[in-house]
Amino acid sequence: MSEKGILVVVSGFSGAGKGTLMKELLGRYPQTYALSVSATTRRPREGEEDGREYFFLSKDEFEKMIAKGELIEYAKYVENYYGTPRGYVQRKLDEGKDVILEIEIQGARNVKKMFPDSLLLFVTPPSASELKSRLVGRGTETMDVIESRMERACEEAEGMEEYDYLIVNDDLEACVEEMHSIIRGEHRRSSRNREFMKEIKEGLEEMKRR
């Protein structure tokens, strides 16, 4: 049974643990998943590498990619551009990998419009106070930036209902396995298996004639 890759969109409040979850998921199932590396105009954080966490571009370079249609989607988030390069995603889907886009909500909406078959997952911590603790604990942003991310989280919460599944990242271990199960289950959705159903039907008809 040949399986096409699923385009999986993962969104969630900044600090919810998306990056941590993705690292675990990809580490455990490297043959199953491919993580799209986005382009951004924000500055690299301590420890981030160009081409690994993001392709770090100037505003000019980013706008050229938009003009050439090289991005599946893009959005502005807290004063910076973020976008998904098209080539890698197409290639990995064709190889049968489930491709994960870790993107914010505007981007998720655009992907769903263009690829109605995509699976939308929303990651949240167990509570609002836990979100703030994680942002502070991560220690990568100033208090000002943390405040603007908490405000942005308020806006993003309004869009949670548009997602297919809610992933509560409380215990990391359990959460990774839950996400993997949801995606595996999605492969069994009948609408994704029309070709297989057709073959079984043909096989049954054939057996009847024998």
Q: Are 70 and 51 in contact (CB under 8 A)?
A: no
Say how far apart CA 24 and CA 37 lie, in whole Å: 16
| Residue whose token pair is 């599946």 | 72
Q: How many CB atoms lie within 10 A of CB 94?
A: 10
Q: What angle do CA 121, 123, 124 make, to 5 degrees?
A: 145
- Give every CB contact of residue 115 below 8 A, 6+ residues apart in sequence: 7
Q: 19 or 208, CB closer to ligand ADP?
A: 19
**Residue in 5, 9, 11, 14 binding ligand ADP, rule: CB under 6 A:** 14
User: Scanning residues 149 to 168, which ones bind ligand ADP (CB under 6 A)?
Assistant: none
Q: Which of ligand ADP, ligand 5GP, none is residue 138 near (CB under 5 to 8 Å by kind)?
A: ligand ADP
Can you name the residues that pair with 7 across neighbouring β-strands? 99
Q: With binding defined as CB under 6 A, does residue 17 bind ligand ADP? A: yes
Q: 40 or 169, CB closer to ligand ADP?
A: 169
Q: 38 or 169, CB closer to ligand ADP?
A: 169
- Residue 79 in tokens: 């004063």
Q: With binding defined as CB under 6 A, does residue 83 bind ligand 5GP? A: yes
CB of 90 to ligand ADP, least distance (A): 25
| Residue whose token pair is 């998943």 | 33
| Contact residues for ligand 5GP, defined by CB under 6 A | 14, 38, 42, 73-75, 77, 82-84, 102-104, 106-107
| Contact residues for ligand ADP, defined by CB under 6 A | 12, 14-20, 134, 137-138, 169, 172
